[in-house]
Chain A
Amino acid sequence: MAGGCHVTTAPRGRTFDLAPLLRDNAGRMLFNSYEFILGFLPLVFLGFYATAWVTRTGAAAWLGLASLFFYGWWSWAALPLLVTSICVNYLFGIWIGRAADRAQRHALLTAAVGANLVTLGWFKYSNFFLQTVNAIAGDAGHRTELLNVVLPIGISFYTFTQIAFLVDCHQGKVRETRFLHYLLFVTYFPHLIAGPVLHHAQMMPQFAKPETYRISPSKFAAGIALFTMGLAKKVLIADPNGLAANRLYDAPGAPDFFLAWHGTLSYAFQIYFDFAGYSDMALGLSLMFGIRLPINFNSPYRATSIIDFWRRWHISLSTFLRDYLYVPLGGSRHGAFRRYANLMITMLLGGLWHGASWTFVVWGALHGLYLVVNHLWRRRGSAGGQSLGGRAAGWLLTFVAVCFAWVFFRAGSFADAIHVLRGLVGLSGLHWTPGAHQWAYIAVAFALALFPWNSDVIAARIEHWRDGRPAFTITTGFAMGVLLMFSIMRLSGQDSPQFLYFQF
């Protein structure tokens, strides 16, 4: 070595020093952060089962408090709003349960849902409303100053979770009088920030079972596997595809056909693997604690129709929108026209739920339109969709339609979206620009998205292995360990660690 001197600039790092791992995402405790994986998770896990050995109520309290800490780590300023929301909705739940008659129950539900929607609207949509008013007023009109409102993380998810709870109370499906359990239901950290949107009945009965408070090696193994696959989806597939998508959408210009498709496919896979990865991690984390959460994705890019797509994509949200919006609007009970109108309304609001921007509304409108066309097609009773060729054509059409809609979801403005759409249909020329290696990420993502075994299937198999094939078990476990460590190591090289759905 030149100069002959062996001097480290970090002499204090020779000991077991975790500081280097904790520096990269200071201020955030994401599922894919070192703080979470090496600090929070092991501590909460050990604390939960240690406390459960003494008292189950204490274990539930530990989990609830840890979840509040998890949320507070993100933003202590947003914590009072979450706690207030929980207290108010808990009280409404009690009052609805005790209401003397149907009219009183209905009034209480209306007040509670109204309060939730007003809160959500204030934080998420007030500036969107003002911007729209200003845009309509034009340059000549009076311009209203935008409000200094910061969107609290996860507000869309915990608001919807609690609305679902209140409606379930109103319908007599659930009753929760223990504040601690209600707190845990809303704040349980695997689902708090970005779902899945849960029903009380899907999770809380599991906390009543004694076996939940004992470590289950099979559930823990399946949980580790799910968490690993989710982390790998995020770190190894979504993030690299995201960089390619950003290159297109941050400055779209007039992309040619290949560039537009490269960026749009990259985004299609980024958002899928990012959110599906998050969901896998959430399900896996929960399974480590013995709690099974409902799946949120079921290989949506294998869908052969847009109806099929919405049964596979963000299942907990689409189920929520169906049960608490589409069905109350009348669903399909009042004729074809009302059914299609209800579909459009549901998807428009679903689009708006994702973000306070007209581009999200257009994304929702497009999906509403797709669904209407799909239902009309089905009404024609065409059998072509059952043949292999028909299914292949349906798959291709569905995938392309979904990709076109993603353009509005990702673009920063309508002008940007139009530029990309022109590129997608070849109106801006054909020039092969992205290199072969850049398509490799898309090819890998495509193959995984279409792979017959998705992560839920793999985790279920791991959980139910009982037949003693040690070679296969060891090989799979070893591969999973390599994948886990590689994903964790790659965290240090990440440029955009935040999950996309945290903004919604």
Chain B
Amino acid sequence: MQTPRWFLGSVCAGALVLPLALDALSLTLRDVVDDDSRWVGEGLRQKGLIADHTTAPQILLAGGSNVNYGYSAAQIEREFGVPATNLAVHAGLGRRYIFWDCLRHAKRGDLVVLGLEYALYGHLFRDPAERYQVFIYDRAYYEQLPWIEKVILLGSMSPGDWSKLLRAKAGWRKPKASLSLLVLSQRGDQTDNTEPDVRLQEGPPFEGVVGPEFTGDLRDFAKAVRERGAVVALVFPNLRDAEFRRRIKPGFLADIHQAADAAGVRVVGTPESSAFPTQYAYNTNYHLNAEGTRIATRRLMRELAEAGARLPAHPSR
């Protein structure tokens, strides 16, 4: 009768060893050259450098690609005389990573304008962008996670992910000759939305619910921002109006307001004012073209002023 006990003991041993082995294996993924994710990692790095080199208090535009394409930090600086950096890259990074990245750059006097895609209010999802960013470009994020989150993140790596990245590490998978990287302005705005490309891909799917952990995440984020002497203003994401009418229900919006109130975060603007007509769409329902960006940026600044938000002052003024 010892055999089943040996078997069961070995099952437990195998189950315990695997996460430790994968954790160790993930160390080898640092700085792998990966064509598919490099635009995210490099974009975040460059934007972070811009933010960190700005010593004066500034507006930090944070969120997913609706912010990346939706607001122009350069225009804010040029037209309103307020220093600003666009930190946003991709909603697939997930709200927790976006918060983490923003906190690295927030400092005293900053105003964080947070425009999360509607999907980011819901249950946490695991997009490849998040795991690739964490394991290849930003292991510091992984290192500070609780162990159970580490196990979840390791588990989100599919066998295909492991195979692809380990082959790239071993040099068996050659990078493309020209990697596509973000075309950024000096303030971190993505500026390749001048040519019309209205294919209108769907963008991230969402359930239209505020997830049970959202309020806690937002509260923790706002608290950490305040500890740095900065403040957060939540704005609604830019979304094409037809899509907005089709998918956004009043109850969901009310839940967002309730969550923001509970987290002690001020909401600026309205969801309707963030919805834009198709003529200003670039290539997805969340992305504005250059003209749309100009209009949305002015609208954002007007709404911040109307809400009485204290804008960081330009050092020259």
Cβ contact within 8 Å between A23 and B148: no
Is there a chain A Cβ closer than 8 Å to B25's Cβ?
A: no
Cβ contact within 8 Å between A482 and B152: no
Is there a chain B Cβ closer than 8 Å to A136's Cβ?
A: no
Is there a chain B Cβ closer than 8 Å to A209's Cβ?
A: no
* Chain A: CB-nearest residue to B127: A493
A10 to chain B, nearest CB (A): 7
Is there a chain B Cβ closer than 8 Å to A83's Cβ?
A: no
Per-residue contact bits, chain A 437-478, to B (CB 8 Å; 1 contact, 0 not):
100000000000000000000000010011110100111111
Cβ contact within 8 Å between A217 and B4: yes
> Which of A7, A484, A493 makes the CB contact (< 8 A) with B157?
A493
CB-CB contacts below 8 Å: B37-61 with A: 45, 48-49, 52
CA of A12 to CA of B163, assembled, Å: 34
Cβ contact within 8 Å between A484 and B146: no
CA of A491 to CA of B151, assembled, Å: 11
Is there a chain B Cβ closer than 8 Å to A65's Cβ?
A: no
Cβ contact within 8 Å between B216 and A12: yes
Is there a chain A Cβ closer than 8 Å to B316's Cβ?
A: no
> Which of A2, A14, A23, A483 makes the CB contact (< 8 A) with B124?
A23
Cβ contact within 8 Å between B155 and A18: no
Choose, from B74-82, B100-108, B190-198, B237-245, the stretch at the interface.
Answer: B100-108
Cβ contact within 8 Å between A23 and B140: no
* Chain A: CB-nearest residue to B7: A477
Looking at chain B's contact residues, the main secondary structure is helix
CB-CB contacts below 8 Å: B1-35 with A: 1-19, 22
Contact A10-B4, Cβ < 8 Å, known A26-B212, A236-B159, A481-B11:
no
Cβ contact within 8 Å between A24 and B155: no
> Which of A2, A14, A477, A492 makes the CB contact (< 8 A) with B9?
A477
Is there a chain B Cβ closer than 8 Å to A141's Cβ?
A: no
A8 to chain B: which residues have CB within 8 Å?
100, 144-146
Cβ contact within 8 Å between A10 and B146: yes
* Chain A: CB-nearest residue to B3: A465
B104 to chain A: which residues have CB within 8 Å?
1-3, 5
A7 to chain B: which residues have CB within 8 Å?
100, 103, 144, 224
Is there a chain A Cβ closer than 8 Å to B96's Cβ?
A: yes
* Chain A: CB-nearest residue to B205: A495
Cβ contact within 8 Å between B155 and A492: yes
Contact A493-B155, Cβ < 8 Å, known A10-B146, A477-B6, A481-B10:
yes
Is there a chain A Cβ closer than 8 Å to B217's Cβ?
A: yes
Is there a chain A Cβ closer than 8 Å to B271's Cβ?
A: no
Cβ contact within 8 Å between B6 and A20: no
Is there a chain B Cβ closer than 8 Å to A240's Cβ?
A: yes
A221 to chain B: which residues have CB within 8 Å?
4, 7-8, 11
Contact A490-B158, Cβ < 8 Å, known A10-B220, A477-B9, A481-B14:
yes
Contact A478-B151, Cβ < 8 Å, known A6-B144, A11-B220, A217-B4:
no
CA of A491 to CA of B157, assembled, Å: 10
> Which of A12, A17, A474 makes the CB contact (< 8 A) with B148?
A17
* Chain B: CB-nearest residue to A462: B7
CA of A491 to CA of B152, assembled, Å: 8
Count the A residues whose beta carbon is within 8 Å of the partner chain — how many? 57
Contact A240-B158, Cβ < 8 Å, known A10-B220, A220-B8, A486-B18:
yes
Using a Cβ cutoff of 8 Å, how many contacts connect chains A and B? 176
Cβ contact within 8 Å between B155 and A23: no
* Chain B: CB-nearest residue to A14: B146
Is there a chain A Cβ closer than 8 Å to B272's Cβ?
A: no
Is there a chain B Cβ closer than 8 Å to A488's Cβ?
A: yes
CA of A470 to CA of B3, assembled, Å: 7
Cβ contact within 8 Å between B140 and A1: yes
B295 to chain A, nearest CB (A): 32
CA of A479 to CA of B18, assembled, Å: 10
Cβ contact within 8 Å between B11 and A493: no
CB-CB contacts below 8 Å: A5-43 with B: 5-15, 17-21, 23-24, 26
> Which of A20, A228, A468, A485 makes the CB contact (< 8 A) with B19?
A485
B19 to chain A: which residues have CB within 8 Å?
485, 489
A19 to chain B: which residues have CB within 8 Å?
213
Is there a chain A Cβ closer than 8 Å to B160's Cβ?
A: yes
B283 to chain A: which residues have CB within 8 Å?
none
Cβ contact within 8 Å between B224 and A492: no
B135 to chain A: which residues have CB within 8 Å?
none
> Which of B15, B144, B216, B220 makes the CB contact (< 8 A) with A482?
B15
A488 to chain B: which residues have CB within 8 Å?
155
B145 to chain A: which residues have CB within 8 Å?
8, 10, 13
Question: 24 A-B residue contacts at CB 8 Å?
Answer: A2-B105, A5-B103, A6-B140, A7-B100, A9-B96, A9-B220, A10-B145, A10-B220, A12-B216, A20-B148, A20-B149, A218-B4, A221-B8, A473-B7, A477-B9, A477-B10, A478-B11, A480-B10, A481-B13, A481-B14, A485-B15, A490-B156, A492-B155, A492-B156
Smallest CB-CB A-B distances: 7 pairs: A481-B14, A489-B155, A477-B10, A3-B104, A13-B146, A217-B4, A493-B156
Interface residues of A (CB under 8 A from B): 1-3, 5-15, 17-21, 23-24, 26, 217-218, 220-221, 224, 228, 236, 240, 437, 462, 465-468, 470, 473-486, 488-493
Given A2-B45, A13-B149, A20-B152; 5 other pairs, CB 8 A cutoff: A2-B105, A13-B148, A220-B8, A481-B15, A482-B18
